[in-house]
Amino acid sequence: MRKSIPESWWAQLKLPVISAPMFLVSGPELVKNCCLNGVIGSFPAPNARLIEVLDHWMSQLNEELEHARVNDPNSKIAPWALNMVVHSSYSRLQDELSLIKKHQPQLVITSLGSPKLVVDIVHEYGGLVFSDVSDLKFAKKAAEAGVDGLILVASGAGGHAGQINSFAFVDMVRTFWDGIIVLAGSISTGKGVLAAQAAGADLAYMGTRFIVATESMANDEYREMLVEATQEDILLTDAFSGVSANMLKPSIKKAGLDPDQLVKKSKVDFDDMQKETNAKAWRDIWSAGHGVGSIDKIESTAAIVARLEVEYNEALQNINRNAGKLSTEKVN
Ligand SMILES: Cc1cc2nc3c(=O)[nH]c(=O)nc-3n(C[C@H](O)[C@H](O)[C@H](O)COP(=O)(O)O)c2cc1C
């Protein structure tokens, strides 16, 4: 029997969705609103520039969501997640591990490096650890380190995209993994969420879809560019962080650069998002995945989740209708 997310989580979710952590985009307001609307909210720890600010964000999220649960015990309020870089060169590693012990988020998402240290701490208090991976080698390594879930970052994803097709990635990982799978990459609609489940994933990981949320930390120019953009405006380039990331061509042009004349950034320093040069690249040049084409307006997190629910239920009805036809044809 393969493992899925805990029963207690299903009771808190309106949709099997994690709003993915995004550098300079996901902050406590977005996370809180995702959770209050029944989808898991997450943010990357480096978005809190100071460790004291991170400490504050984590206690505030615990307090506000607990308060909401007490006030309305029947509403679905999802857990929140912290995303942290676990590479040994990451300067805040020990401080962030201490904050995890202190605030005990139900889910910790690790990027870049071995999740082992985090697994030991989070399992001690009964939380779960998911690791994001973009190829089979790292998926196997994370599985061996004892994580509960693998986040498969497939091709077309916003941020540092993988290169493997979503369906192929899930199938390949399922040959050696019976734990939780979260699928990432260009999932921007409720139908996409259902497709991720049909492909064998437990949860969908949606980044780009939530950038336009009014509660995100993105600025309006970025949001408007996303609304205007189609997949043709997305460029996979290693010019800004040294590894391939999907970026919005109009933002590259706006920064005075020619998208056709970019050169690879020689030094890969994305291990440490705190570095000013790195932050600057992501502040001025904006990222999005291939799913931009289905985003047509700036709206609140509540409105986005409500739309996703409608799309999900419509897709489910269509599938059931067609499945019904298949079985009728068989009988005839
Ligand atoms: C603007 C932006 C910033 C991102 N920053 C991070 C990050 O700091 N840490 C991380 O693990 N993933 C980061 N990602 C990747 C997302 O967590 C997620 O894998 C991706 O957005 C999923 O693909 P989608 O955007 O097509 O939905 C970022 C993505 C975007 C679009």
What is the distance in A from the centroid of ligand 1 to the CA of 326? 38
Q: Considering only CA atoms, which residue is closest to atom 3 of ligand 1?
A: 22
**Residue 20 in contact with ligand 1 by CB distance below 6 A:** yes
pLDDT tens digits, one per residue of 307-320: 999 999 999 999 99
Q: Is the model's pLDDT at 14 over the cut of 60?
A: yes
pLDDT tens digits, one per residue of 152-194: 999 999 999 999 999 999 999 999 999 999 999 999 999 999 9
Q: Is the model's pLDDT at 331 over the cut of 60?
A: no
Beta-carbon contacts of residue 306 (< 8 Å; ≥ 6 apart): 37
| pLDDT greater at residue 66 or residue 88 | 66
Average pLDDT over residues 213-226: 98
What is the distance in A from the centroid of ligand 1 to the CA of 120? 25
What angle separates helix 93-103 from helix 116-124, to the nearest 10 degrees? 20
Beta-carbon contacts of residue 309 (< 8 Å; ≥ 6 apart): 14, 15, 190
Q: Are 249 and 233 in contact (CB under 8 A)?
A: yes
Q: Are 19 and 210 in contact (CB under 8 A)?
A: yes
Beta-carbon contacts of residue 25 (< 8 Å; ≥ 6 apart): 47, 210, 211, 216, 217, 218
What is the distance in A from the centroid of ligand 1 to the CA of 300? 19
Ranges assigned E (strand) in 178-315: 180-184, 203-206, 234-237, 245-248
Q: Which amino acid is at 293?
A: G
Backbone angles phi, psi at 161, to 5 degrees: -75, 155
If you search the block for the tokens 């964000």, which residue do you land on? 57
Q: Which atom of ligand 1 is nearest to the CA of 209?
A: 27
User: What average pLDDT is seen over the chain?
Assistant: 93
The alpha carbon of 148 is separated from its chain's Cα centroid by a whole number of angstroms, namely 16
Looking at residue 2, its pLDDT comes to 84
**Residue 83 in contact with ligand 1 by CB distance below 6 A:** yes
pLDDT over 90, % of the chain: 84
How confident is residue 283, by pLDDT bands cut at 50, 70 and 90? confident
pTM exceeds 0.75: yes
| pLDDT greater at residue 42 or residue 265 | 42
Looking at residue 42, its pLDDT comes to 98
Alpha-carbon span 208 to 214, nearest angstrom: 13
Alpha-carbon span 282 to 277, nearest angstrom: 9
| Ligand 1 pocket test, candidate residues 17, 22, 25, most atoms within 8 A of CB | 22
Q: Are 118 and 97 in contact (CB under 8 A)?
A: yes
How confident is residue 230, by pLDDT bands cut at 50, 70 and 90? very high
Q: Are 231 and 290 in contact (CB under 8 A)?
A: yes
| Ligand 1 pocket test, candidate residues 17, 18, 19, 23, most atoms within 8 A of CB | 23
**Residue 192 in contact with ligand 1 by CB distance below 6 A:** no
Q: Is the model's pLDDT at 227 over the cut of 80?
A: yes
Average pLDDT over residues 17-22: 98
Looking at residue 270, its pLDDT comes to 47
**Residue 22 in contact with ligand 1 by CB distance below 6 A:** yes
Question: Domains in the chain, please, with CATH?
Answer: 8-216+302-331 (3.20.20.70), 220-290 (no CATH)
pLDDT over 70, % of the chain: 94
